[in-house]
Structure 1
Amino acid sequence: MATDGGRFYRVFENLDELVSVVETARGVLVSGSCVVPRGHVLDLLDDLREALPAEMEEAHTILEQRTDLLVTAEDEARRMVEEARAEAARLRAEAQDEAEQGLALARGQSESTLAAARTESQALAQEGRAEYERAVTAGRREHDRLVSDMDVHQDAQARAEQLLAEASHNASATLAEAGARAQRIGGEADEYVEAKLAEFAATLTKMLRSVEAGRGKLRERQPAAEPEPGPELFDQDAASG
């Protein structure tokens, strides 16, 4: 069996031979026709047909059977379309069933979650109200305590101010009394000193008079002589008179 390369080579040789036969054929006068050897040309054509690849024959057969193939392809296409439509309908139905089941499941879970959330919300609300009431109670107690402490502080401040005012008043009165007493004691001291000085002056005057009387007696006993200068006596009565 000849190879594909040999077949193609024979095809080209036969074609070249046919071209050469036609070119060298004797022409017919007043015509574009020519006279070629029929037997030789037929042999070349038979050899050319044998040299053609089998695929060309199969292609020729396929071309002849194209109508049947087209009909078969159309039938197959319609069958595939029908099967695809049926499969699509089945898948659509299954998807719808799954969607409905998923929706029902989601609704159930949503209702369960919502119920749990409501329960938790109510519990939190109750706890919040209880905490609020405890905070309000504690705040009121603290407020009452602070108010009580404030009242005590205000009372203590008022008492302190009262005691301070009384102490200031007592201190002022004590200072005034002490000043008056000091003035009185000073006056009494001055009077006492004045009396003592007057008494001492009187005593001193009496003593001077006694001394002068004694000197007079001594002068009377002695002969007359010039009197010696002596100290001048201080007569308090004359000075005061």
Structure 2
Amino acid sequence: MASTRELWGETFSKDEIPPYPCPLCNRGTLHCVPDSFRQKISRDVEEQLETQWIDPPDAVHQFNLFLQCGIAKCGAIVSVQGDSQLVERDNREFVEDRYFYRLAPQGMYPAPPLAAVPKDTPKLLKKEFETAFALFWIDLGACANRLRIIVEKILDHQRVPAARDLATRIASFKNSEPDHATMFDALRFVGNIGSHEGKASRDTVLDCFELLQEAIGELFDQRKSKLASMKQRIVNAKGRV
């Protein structure tokens, strides 16, 4: 999976939902199920609107909708819920349709993958990734902490000896995998902030998912080795393959 950063914005228009990757088949993209969008406002907000205490754009609604994989043989369903709010269009030419609803998801289940996880990745590690994908929409600090846990699990799988702290384990890993070890150090720092301060920036968490995608692609799918072998095979055959 190439970088998909453009998909993971905090909000999107009700009529322009990003083509999220399917969490089940990892091949299809998700599309809104027709007529599945619902939204409501609480009674107190409704009363404030009726008395004109607040204007419609200031009223926060709660919404839910369903997305479905576009591959017929898959058809996976993802539920989405969060807040919605009227936003004025930048283009004032649409006089009759001056406002539109902008959605801010607070949860997706099952959550779309923010990184490609190779099929040979250990099952327990895949579950940790699924948890991180879900936490991305709920709590970025907790998501960052989960990424730190993923680093621990990867080191377990690589049989890096237990130590008093993660920094020591990563330092030990540098002997065999210096590039990945530096990457894991970056994830450790972000995870520590998520654990101790309970927060993390969206961009930084997305950076971490990209870094992890590269690391597990090599560690569990040997992508660099496969590419090197492919190049050498073509060279040896002088292009006649």
TM-score by length of 1: 0.17
More strand, by proportion: 2
Which structure has the higher relative contact order (CA within 8 Å, separation 6+)?
Answer: 2
Largest Rg, 1 or 2? 1
